[in-house]
Amino acid sequence: MIQAPSRRDRVRAATTQEIIHTARKLLVQDGPEAVSLRAIAREMGMTAPALYRYFGSHEELLRHVVADIFTELATHVRTAVHVAADASNSDLTEAEVMVVKMIAGCREFRAWTLAHVPEFSMIFGSPLPGMDVLHQIQNDPTIDCGYQFGQVFLDLFGDLFRRRPFSIPADEEIEPSLREQLVRYRTLVHSDLPLGALQTFLRCWVLLYGSVSLEAFGHLRFALDDPAPMFELMLSDLAPMIGLEYPLPASAR
């Protein structure tokens, strides 16, 4: 039978989100070092030890913040993809729409990142020590949300491949140790894509992550003030890997 929400559920559930959002606010306003338990509590009109009712430690709180950021990013990319699909020229084929969606997803990933550098640094910068161990821990929010984010791009990629197949390496062409790992990965994410497609997917991810994080972290500033054109170049590297020409034909823009 269904029970009425207990006091714990009502109050506490609302407050954990408040804490996380306060932490994010501090992160954005004052940088990563400013996200201290005392500062969060101060901002909320509480005292620091009170936060221990909600999180076991400062680090656990941060991991929930990371999870929150991950899901927000995933949502942003997903909705940007849908918006692009809806707004696309209505006489495009389904396959062409997939191309539009793919490009929109990559562009939104970059756009969100540049608009949220502190958050991006938190989830994609140097990992908190002890992150390695997390893969063995159950029920960690970070891991789940990270996978959920990866799934957004993987779904996009899978749809594109099914509707507009492109050339991928055959299983025998894949380096054996990689092939074995791709098999594991495929079962982990319950995908039915061929291994070659997964290999291409990861290659695309390397490109996308590389160019975006380079830009966000300022590691191209030694050469360029505005790395935007480099992102476009990256997209032209990406396109042939998934059977597209780039820049896109005018009809798909």
Partner DNA sequence: TAGCTTGCGTTAACGCCGTAAACTATCGGT
Partner DNA sequence: ACCGATAGTTTACGGCGTTAACGCAAGCTA
Residues near a second copy (CB under 8 A) = 31-33, 121-122, 124-127, 129, 131-132, 135, 146-147, 150, 175, 177-178, 181-182, 185, 188, 198-199, 202-203, 205-207, 209-211, 213-214, 217-226, 228-230, 232-234, 237
Check binding of 134 to DNA (CB under 7 A): no
Check binding of 184 to DNA (CB under 7 A): no
Amino acid identity at 237 = D
Q: Please choose, out of 46-54, 109-117, 161-169, 242-250, the segment that lies near DNA by the rule CB under 7 A.
A: 46-54
The least distance separating DNA from the CB of residue 188, rounded to whole angstroms, comes to 31
- Count of beta carbons in the 10 Å neighbourhood of residue 126: 8
The least distance separating a second copy from the CB of residue 215, rounded to whole angstroms, comes to 9
Give the residue with the Cβ less far from DNA, 34 or 189.
34
Check binding of 49 to DNA (CB under 7 A): yes
Phi, psi (deg, nearest 5) at residue 227: -80, 10
Q: Which of residues 6-25 bind DNA (CB under 7 A)?
A: 6-8, 11-12, 15
Q: Which of 97, 101, 123, 94 is nearest to 27 (CA)?
A: 123
- Count of beta carbons in the 10 Å neighbourhood of residue 160: 22
Q: Among a second copy, DNA, none, what does residue 39 contact (CB within 5–8 Å per kind)?
A: DNA
- Applying CB under 7 A, the residues found at the interface with DNA are 4, 6-8, 11-12, 15, 35-39, 41-42, 45-50, 52-54, 57-59
